[in-house]
Chains A and B, each alone.
Chain A
Amino acid sequence: MTSIDITSTDTTRMSSDISLLDPGHQAAGLTANNVACWFGTKKVLEGVNLDMAPGQVTALIGPSGCGKSTFLRTLNRMHELVPSATLAGEILIDGVDIYRGAIPVTDVRRRIGMVFQKPNPFPAMTVAENVLAGLKLSGLKTTRSERDELIESCLSKAGLWNEVKNRLGDPGRALSGGQQQRLCIARSLAVSPQVLLMDEPCSALDPTSTRRIEQTISEISETITVVIVTHNMQQAQRVSHRCAFFLAAENEPGRIVEEGPTKDIFTNPRDSRTNDYVNGRFG
């Protein structure tokens, strides 16, 4: 297993193979082949193989510290932002390697968006500017009507439009926590990603906001592949089509113990540890 030299493939030239604002974009499939991750010399993930089919919601479950977030961050090249982090294996988007392939890292991240555990709207921007931030950060010029349309459609998709349509000029952080998280989802949707990664997006939210976000996930999953990390078993069952159970034994790197259709994982798991976990007996 050779580890990937991140810096050598770090090209930042702009490619024009995807058009932002293109409404006809397709959900893309992600494939992880034999992925391993290290922080310094500590190996935290090993032998991860996972297929995330286009237009499906994949839930990653498992006890704390087993490497779910780490794995998620390898999927859009956020892992390499930690200075000591390295990885091995390959991640393919529609068959193209995101680390060794020709896709520039900025395009990888735009095609594979991410929503973080803690809401992080840009404080120096208004609600409307936050939605459009991705375009600004990619240096994309838009007309006023395109902007208006994008703001309304993205905020509506994130289930936030009605609450903020009269507050578009307020600072992003003037919203409540749940509203901020939905704003972050709207922000991610505005660059028309093909895949959306979500790391415990509802862990700081109330049940109503949680339901709203779950609804959003169901709606967008027709056109966007979703990968979601969650500690909430009910949520995993409600939103996901497939499920992957991660586990790390003490002082061992994390691995996928079992992976399959959500129904099977929860009602008829093959592994006894999966059975214990989904029934709340450990973790």
Chain B
Amino acid sequence: MTTTLNTTKETKIDTEERIKIREIEMVDVIVMVGSALSAFALSYFFFQILLPVSGALGFLVCWYVFFNIISTVAVWELRGAIKAKDHLARVFIWTGGLAAVVPLILVLVYVIGKGYHSLRPQFFTQDQKFVGALSESTEGGGAHAIVGTLEQVGIASLISVPLGITTAVYLNEVKGRLTKPLRMIIDAMSAVPSIVAGLFIYAAWILALGNQQSGIAGSLALAVLFLPTVTRTSEVVLRLVPGGLREASLALGGTEWRTTSRVVLPTAKSGLVTAVILGVARVIGETAPLILTVGGAFVMNANPFSGKQDALPYFVFRLIRFPQEAQVARAWTGALVLVILVLVLFVIARAIGGRGPDHISRLKKRRLKRKGLA
């Protein structure tokens, strides 16, 4: 690959033959393929013919177990006990990795397959005002739900991110007397079921204080879930900043506040962005806390402070239960848009957060140029 690219530019091509570490030998391939085939045959025999049960899942499990036994024995014969254990561990880790990734990909593929039919530009510009029971699924859109979700999650992060990072700084940099109780409260908060967060805001903000259902009520409920995630992740990230940097800053005559704001936080910046991403990911798909707080709506209400609002997950939750196929199709499109939204937010966050402290972003380079420092 590289050589063909290089020849066109007439650069010097390295002629030394590089040592191939981890080369897979033919024998190994034969052992694997052979084990897989004989395990298939064996499990077919046992599962389909001898046992009175059948089914794809049972067959797969049977095949997997036979494959492990046969291939391990084969490797043992060929290369000894250590290699056999190594082989078995490798198979387990590979299956574990696959088992984690496969459902994820399946979900994505499924959502895309179900949702892309009615994904039209107007999904991002129209609400459900003129959508009747017999409308096509491509009519109307989810703009009101997208706006609702963005506003609710946006306000929730405006509340939780500064508060969470400040708390993390307190827990890790100040280490005051309240560290222990505070950490306990944060731990307890992260265990709060999301419906309880919704109920809490419903009882405290809407029933007790007499407010109406609105976007802000939803934001408050989401903030309850957002805060502990940001705090705990930020705390871990701040703990990873080497103590030597703090000492160096203090030894230069820095105050604790300047040490934190000029040295610790900038060093941890990309990790803190990850903390925020995890927080957003935690709340953006939440439905339960929103049902009681935002109320749901079919028309655009861009004002989060008054009137009911919709949110994408809530939109999906409502429409998917309709008998009309068109509504169900819209719900799937809503789910797909939610996935896309999360993806876009993550890409933006990564672009802002940069790639770790040693990397100096283009934006910062320009600022330094202006100050004559680069």
Q: State the A residues within 8 Å of B (CB).
A: 12, 76, 78, 81, 106-107, 109-110, 113-114, 116, 118, 120, 122-126, 128-129, 132-134, 136-139, 144, 147-148, 151, 168-171, 173-174, 184, 187-188, 191
Contact = CB atoms under 8 A, between A and B. Distances in A.
Given A123-B357, A124-B269, A169-B374, A116 B247 contact: yes
Q: Would you call the interface of chain B mostly helix, strand, loop, or mixed?
A: helix
Given A118-B244, A120-B247, A134-B253, 4 more contacts: A109-B251, A124-B357, A137-B253, A169-B365
Contacts of A116: 244, 247-248, 251
Given A78-B247, A120-B244, A191-B252, A144 B371 contact: yes
Closest CB pairs A-B (n = 10): A110-B253, A169-B374, A137-B254, A124-B266, A123-B357, A134-B252, A114-B251, A120-B244, A128-B373, A124-B357
Nearest to A148: B372
A171 B374 CA distance: 11
A129 B267 CA distance: 14
Given A106-B253, A187-B252, A120 B358 contact: no
Contact of A137 (B244, B249, B369): B249
B82 interface: no
Nearest to B359: A171
A120 B242 CA distance: 9
Contacts of B360: 126, 169-171
A99 B183 CA distance: 34
Contacts of A126: 360, 368, 373-374
A12 B253 contact: no
Interface residues of B, number: 30
A109 B357 contact: no
Interface of B: 242, 244-245, 247-255, 258-259, 262-263, 266-267, 269, 357-360, 365, 368-369, 371-374
A138 B251 contact: no
Contact of A128 (B251, B359, B374): B374
B268 to A, nearest CB: 9
Nearest to B242: A120
A110 B249 CA distance: 10
Contact of B247 (A81, A174, A187, A188): A81
A122 B267 contact: yes
A124 B254 CA distance: 16
Contacts, number: 108
17 contacts: A78-B247, A109-B252, A113-B251, A116-B251, A122-B245, A124-B263, A125-B266, A129-B373, A133-B252, A134-B254, A136-B262, A137-B263, A139-B258, A144-B372, A169-B369, A171-B357, A173-B358
B250 A184 contact: no
Nearest to A125: B266
Contacts of A132: 373
A113 to B, nearest CB: 7
Contacts of B357: 123-124, 171
A128 B368 CA distance: 10
Nearest to B258: A137
B153 to A, nearest CB: 28
Nearest to A173: B358
A245 B255 CA distance: 34
B253 A138 contact: yes
A240 B258 CA distance: 35
A145 B359 CA distance: 27
Given A120-B242, A168-B373, A110 B252 contact: yes
A125 B254 CA distance: 16
A169 B255 CA distance: 26
Nearest to B374: A169
A144 B368 CA distance: 12
Contact of B253 (A109, A128, A151, A184): A109
B265 to A, nearest CB: 9
Contacts of B269: 124
A137 B246 CA distance: 11
Given A123-B358, A124-B269, A191 B248 contact: no
B359 to A, nearest CB: 7
A120 B374 CA distance: 21
B254 A106 contact: yes
Contacts of B368: 126, 128-129, 169
